[in-house]
Structure 1
């Protein structure tokens, strides 16, 4: 584990120190110096596909924020194959003008990234940046306001380029008066099964500024598998999405979709020149793993290894994901 230790008589340098344990109970510190600089909030994940650890740390930069006296908070990323030698932290995600506009629209000053666990998931990276909407600068450069997790995704192996098209909370605060109505912090791992994906989280009933009668509890949030976001069509008029070119490695196209009564999801396969080479039968119902079949019994085995695009026609449905096997 990585443990933040402030500078004191025993540890002359503030930072994150590595500890190892054979049983998860007794821990031994590695070396006398921190393996990563700075300190405060960190999250660590293991990327099994690439055999490396991923640490995201909250770093505070010079005072360029819109909150007087409050240095800007950002999520920085480092990686290691042995948990001891880490790449130098590099900035991954920070609050931008969209975040600040949303914060000001809600009566706040700006939004910053308080922390960001990263999750290797199905060949890509997901992250849940904890967005801190600062409502008042407060004392000691801390600030007050709620914190909620959003969703970010990346295909960048360096973990520096992230997409955040949807800025709604991936896990919203509880109703007023609930134990988690002011701050939510998600854990560093996902629990997955054939049909669901879950994350444990810590919730608080007061915001970052603190307050009387503070309580904190642990909750569990669960979605359908791949169900963090969807391409949704309400059924009043069909919509379509065409993917970028992908390599068709396999023989079966799968979709995870929830189709309303009377709706459907249809797929066209386009070759690299843009010509339609196959049209699917409609997919209906609520299916976590629908295997797409093709009109006139067409087989796509001959496309193996070729670059193709998929055009999804979505009519009254949520399309969560697709994959090839």
Structure 2
């Protein structure tokens, strides 16, 4: 939703940021349009990475970042030594990966599909340092995530890792820093937030408010309770709801990555989720894109054994989170017997590859008895750029009116795609997609009831029809795209579309 200043009479300033049409944030009104959630298409060559190295059991909780200067794709992923986890293990060696149940591994790729796992020689595991382990923590390095430091001058901390460890006997959210993504130095004041957070510990930078946000587990619940330092306790251990009362999402705020506010709950399941028997939000992977916080939320059922799946969530301030109107899934498990037929784990923030967003996700195969196979692999799913949710019109025209915005560019740019519809008979012509835009100024008094004043030269009749699939479509009126004469003025954009999907709009120079 637009902020308070807008409702006190101020227009919105959107700069050159593409406005994702996920909700009513930049939409004043719409008519005869349907919101359609778009699913990424899974790569036919999945899985793109499997646990195939000596002593490697899993490839999950992956994070992928593209190193633009080198043109290299970098992946960090979790591995869990299943034998160490399920046997009475020896105390973890803090100077190696020996007897650690969880640690972080590294891989890289030139094309994002074929990956190599370099023998880094950093940490010994199962008697050998010929592996790709980059961090094992003092006792563990679990639920790790990696982000790029927004400060380009902080070269020694170019990469920041959040993870779960107990460096001083106290479990909690920890940090480590690296100049190259391979050699890591833990934060000496770890843990920076106490508590056992069995989620993906992802810090995300808020560039608008200049602060860090971290999403984890809340310390208090309506059902059951938790000791922030020692973990959770069930209110009723015999209820069969172990842990599931606490799988909610909380947020903490920091200016320096070390001093954090108390976790506050921001997202939990509701009646619509419960009706479908989804009670948990397990993994939660946030990132910032086009002025919006986006996240992949991993839903699981109360047993924790049925297929998990991912849902897109978003927030305009990092605190108030929304889900699709139809609760559509972003990535679902594959068919029975497929490598990803079981639990689909949190997808990494997408990597932009041309006009595609590449999502890397972990998944397990389901077993006949209903459990999931413990070994986890990595898959790839692709979504066209910024096309999360469409405002779609059918054969009959639909209309969308934006909030009042300040024109801060010389051109108007759209992300839009037509969709075909068959003719009603063999002799009839197939209907044609049609998208047009007119510019409207708010009017006072009676004129406001009539919908404002259309700016001369920028009406639907003046607009050149748009029928193509384009990510950066420049709107023209009578052959001209020039909005420079309107720069600085406040107005609404009114779209009329048929057989067309509209995803974003933005001002550009």
TM tier, smaller: 0.7 to 0.9
Higher strand share: 1
Alignment pair present for 1:55 and 2:214: yes
| Secondary structure class of the residue paired with 1:231 | strand
Q: Deviation of residue 43 (structure 1)?
A: 3.6
Q: Please, which runs of 5 or more residues in structure 1 have no aligned partner? A: 137-142
Q: Is the 8 A contact 2:250 2:266 kept in 1?
A: yes
Q: Deviation of residue 28 (structure 1)?
A: 3.1
Please point out which of 433, 438, 445 is paired with 1:263: 433
Q: Is the 8 A contact 1:54 1:80 kept in 2?
A: yes
Alignment pair present for 1:161 and 2:320: yes
Q: Is the 8 A contact 2:412 2:481 kept in 1?
A: no
Q: Deviation of residue 292 (structure 1)?
A: 0.4
Q: Please, which runs of 5 or more residues in structure 2 have no aligned partner? A: 1-160, 225-238, 421-431, 444-451
Q: Is the 8 A contact 2:415 2:504 kept in 1?
A: yes
Q: Measure, in 2, the Cα distance between the counterparts of 1:232 and 1:252.
A: 23
Q: For each residue in 1:143-198, what CA deviation from the matched residue of structure 2 results, as whole angstroms up to 9, or x when unmatched?
A: 43332111122221xx1112223311111221221111222223443211341111
- Specify whether residues 3 and 210 from structure 1 end up closer, same or farther in structure 2 by C-alpha distance, changes over 3 A only: farther
- Specify whether residues 129 and 249 from structure 1 end up closer, same or farther in structure 2 by C-alpha distance, changes over 3 A only: same
**Paired residues for 1:242-321 under 5 Å:** 242-260=401-419, 262-273=432-443, 274-277=452-455, 278-279=458-459, 280-295=463-478, 299-321=482-504
Q: Measure, in 1, the Cα distance between the counterparts of 2:319 and 2:206.
A: 19
User: How many residues are paired up?
Assistant: 305
**Paired residues for 1:93-132 under 5 Å:** 93-101=267-275, 103=276, 108=277, 110-132=278-300
| Secondary structure class of the residue paired with 2:306 | coil
Q: Measure, in 1, the Cα distance between the counterparts of 2:370 and 2:222.
A: 22
Q: Measure, in 2, the Cα distance between the counterparts of 1:124 and 1:33.
A: 30
Match for residue 140 of structure 1? none
Match for residue 202 of structure 2? 44
- Specify whether residues 239 and 155 from structure 1 end up closer, same or farther in structure 2 by C-alpha distance, changes over 3 A only: same
- Specify whether residues 28 and 194 from structure 1 end up closer, same or farther in structure 2 by C-alpha distance, changes over 3 A only: closer
| Secondary structure class of the residue paired with 1:98 | helix
Q: Measure, in 1, the Cα distance between the counterparts of 2:490 and 2:279.
A: 41
Please, which moves more after superposition, 300-309 or 224-233? 300-309
TM-score by length of 2: 0.55
Q: For each residue in 1:230-278, what CA deviation from the matched residue of structure 2 results, as whole angstroms up to 9, or x when unmatched?
A: 112232x221121222221112111111113511111122113222222
Q: For each residue in 1:30-86, what CA deviation from the matched residue of structure 2 results, as whole angstroms up to 9, or x when unmatched?
A: 235411132211242543735544321134743639964432311112243433222
| Secondary structure class of the residue paired with 2:168 | coil
Q: For each residue in 1:193-219, what CA deviation from the matched residue of structure 2 results, as whole angstroms up to 9, or x when unmatched?
A: 341111211111239x98364331101
Greater radius of gyration (CA): 2
- Specify whether residues 212 and 73 from structure 1 end up closer, same or farther in structure 2 by C-alpha distance, changes over 3 A only: closer
Q: Deviation of residue 293 (structure 1)?
A: 0.6
Alignment pair present for 1:219 and 2:379: yes
Q: Measure, in 2, the Cα distance between the counterparts of 1:250 and 1:79.
A: 33
Q: Deviation of residue 324 (structure 1)?
A: 0.8
Q: Measure, in 1, the Cα distance between the counterparts of 2:355 and 2:206.
A: 21
Q: Measure, in 2, the Cα distance between the counterparts of 1:246 and 1:24.
A: 41
Match for residue 182 of structure 1? 342
Alignment pair present for 1:91 and 2:265: yes
Q: Is the 8 A contact 1:58 1:115 kept in 2?
A: no
